[in-house]
Amino acid sequence: MTPPAESSDAGDLVLDVSLSCAWCFADEASEAAWAILSRLESAVAHVPSLWLWETGNVLVQAERRGRITAAAIRSFLGLLEGLPIRIDHAGITTIWHDTLALARAHRLTSYDAAYLELALRLGLPLASRDQALQAAARSEGVPLLPT
């Protein structure tokens, strides 16, 4: 693995679904999570393209469990649509080689490894509530934002 790249976008970050969906559920969001949302007033959140499907899955599962209504989902998606979120469309080489190598090295799912790979490639800090992903990020020298 290569060391994290130098970032030129002060304030930008890689955002994972565990943190972005915390904004939807009052019992999951911390002050630090809200601070990251506020940070996006002047910064860009970078996400792998799978973030779209992961977000949708979290929301539909929460709706099936009666934890959220369809109206609340529409409202939350409106919030997300208004944020400066840049979707990274990594190519096959990145996905099948770099991401899988990180998944193997850190015993992560390939989904979680996609966030780590993006943070490494862009040289940006990671915002995640996932403990295994946080541990892997620390091991790879990726800065973590308080969540």
All structural domains of the chain: 13-140 (3.40.50.1010)
Least confidently predicted of 9-13, 82-86, 104-108, 118-122: 9-13
- Could you read off the pLDDT of 54-75 as tens digits, one per residue? 999 999 999 999 999 999 999 9
Query: Is 134 within 8 Å of 144 (Cβ atoms)?
Result: yes
CA dihedral of 31, 34, 38, 39, whole degrees rounded to 10: 80
- pLDDT at residue number 3: 47
Kindly tell me if the per-residue pLDDT of 145 is higher than 80: yes
For all residues of the chain together, what is the average pLDDT?
Answer: 93
- pLDDT at residue number 74: 98
Beta-bridge partner residues of 86:
46
- Both tokens of residue 28? 């999951």
For residue 62, the one-letter residue type is A
Residue 91: pLDDT band (50, 70, 90) is confident
